[in-house]
Amino acid sequence: MNRAFLAPGLLLILVAIGGRYTLDRAGLLDLAWVDLRVIGLVVALVALAVDASYRPRSLTRPREGWLLAALLFFLFQIASALWAPPAARIGPQTLDLVLLGVLVIAFYQYSIGDPETVTRFTFHLLFITAIVYALAAIFISGPGEQGRYSAFGGGPNVFARIEVLGVISAVALFMLTGRVLPLLVIPLFLLATVLSGSRGTLVAGAVVGFAALLKLRHRLRAGAIVAAAVVSVVAVGAIWAFAPPAFTDLFQERFVEQTVQEQYLSGRTDIWMAALQLFADHPIGGSGLDGFYGLIGVNQAVEYPHNYVLAVAAEGGLAGLGLLTASIVLWTRIVRGGGVRPQATGLAVAAAVFVALSGLFSGDYYDSRLAWMFAALAAASASVRAPAVSKELAVAR
């Protein structure tokens, strides 16, 4: 099997990490119409075509029903613009969904040729990205108006996802390469995640971490558990001792006072109830693309429901939920067992599930791109079959 070129993967991952990056964010206001996602994807597709031309033709066809269902889901969302309310932002939302679909297809095609190389490269790149983002947030960007940290003009919640993906990447690199050094950077990622003030991201990360420990409980040795506990205690102590003063202030205000004492959830419950009511009013086909904003958010200054599933229910109804559920079920059947490299598949699944769970607390459709990309990587990894045994070897046995 030929190894995958790194160029397509680098471009695709950078496009996914960069988000909606237009040149006005770099200070070039006259070029605000230039969407770097489009440019990056076009170049990535050319590089991917070159990469595919050097690959041998696969003799086995992986199961891709989940991908077909996902594409039908994206197409249905775009088609729902036909019955969207007048105030809906159809143009930007359609562009987001088109780019999301292209990104998922391209990354899956890139991964299917050599999932092992792509898995290592993806986690290496995300590990480096998390370090760069953390240092930029702490030493360059600093706290925002709410005292929450982020980097490169992005929001705190997206920043927090990258940092937790950095934790997963550090664990992945340790498991795939046996190197301990990546684990030593985890305290930096955790510090940056707390400084982001993203409570939903922390909950999603904790759920995935607990599930991973529960699954691996029979493989863990007592010495490793004790060592991990000691490192965790030391890491927490180091963070508390050397973190900037803003850390303790943010932790006290957002996590203790607002969350525990005041039970403040940034108005999420009211937003979610409004989305549920919209689903009840339009149960079959939903209110249409960006219908939540067109009917509710435009009057309440709320961009989206801050919950991926509720957004699909409110704007796509039972039809949208059905297509999304079909894709998830078919994908689960593929990744179950992990294929011939269950470790790599499991790591990609953990990353996909983490981002998906984070999407239950914040983010719009395009913010789910990393979940779909890691789902594609997991499906590609699980689809690889063991090499066939030659007839001569079979006879000898």
Residue 167 located in a structural domain:
yes
CA dist 243 and 252 (Å) reads: 14
Residue 396 located in a structural domain:
no
- The pLDDT value recorded for residue 391 is 39
Residue 342 located in a structural domain:
yes
Q: Domain range holding 85? A: 6-55+65-384
Query: What confidence tens digit (pLDDT) does each residue in 153-173 have?
Result: 788 889 999 999 999 999 999
Residue 392 located in a structural domain:
no
Q: Is the pLDDT of residue 244 over 80?
A: no
Residue recorded with tokens 């953390």:
134
Mean per-residue pLDDT for 354-368? Answer: 93
What is the share, in percent, of the chain residues with pLDDT greater than 90? 50
Going by pLDDT thresholds of 50, 70 and 90, the confidence category of residue 393 is very low
Q: Is the pLDDT of residue 235 over 80?
A: no
Query: What confidence tens digit (pLDDT) does each residue in 54-86 have?
Result: 776 654 567 789 999 999 999 999 999 999 999
Q: Is the pLDDT of residue 89 over 90?
A: yes
3-state secondary structure of 44: helix
Going by pLDDT thresholds of 50, 70 and 90, the confidence category of residue 389 is very low
What is the share, in percent, of the chain residues with pLDDT greater than 70? 79
Query: What confidence tens digit (pLDDT) does each residue in 186-199 have?
Result: 988 988 898 888 88
Going by pLDDT thresholds of 50, 70 and 90, the confidence category of residue 377 is very high
33 burial (CB, 10 Å; 0-12 / 13-18 / 19+) is exposed
- Count of the separate structural domains present in the chain: 1
Residue 245 located in a structural domain:
yes
Check residues 138 and 62 and name the one with the higher pLDDT.
138
Query: What confidence tens digit (pLDDT) does each residue in 11-61 have?
Result: 999 999 988 876 666 666 676 677 889 999 999 999 999 888 777 665 456
- The pLDDT value recorded for residue 352 is 97
CA dist 124 and 73 (Å) reads: 31
Residue 397 located in a structural domain:
no
Residue 60 located in a structural domain:
no
Residue 159, phi then psi, degrees to nearest 5: -60, -45
8 Å CB contact between 143 and 246: yes
- The pLDDT value recorded for residue 227 is 60
Helices (H), 197-307: 199-215, 222-242, 245-250, 268-281, 291-292, 298-300
CA dist 86 and 249 (Å) reads: 44
Residue 246 located in a structural domain:
yes
Question: Considering only 6-10, 165-169, 236-240, which range has the smallest mean pLDDT?
Answer: 236-240
Distance of CA 371 to the CA centre of its chain: 4
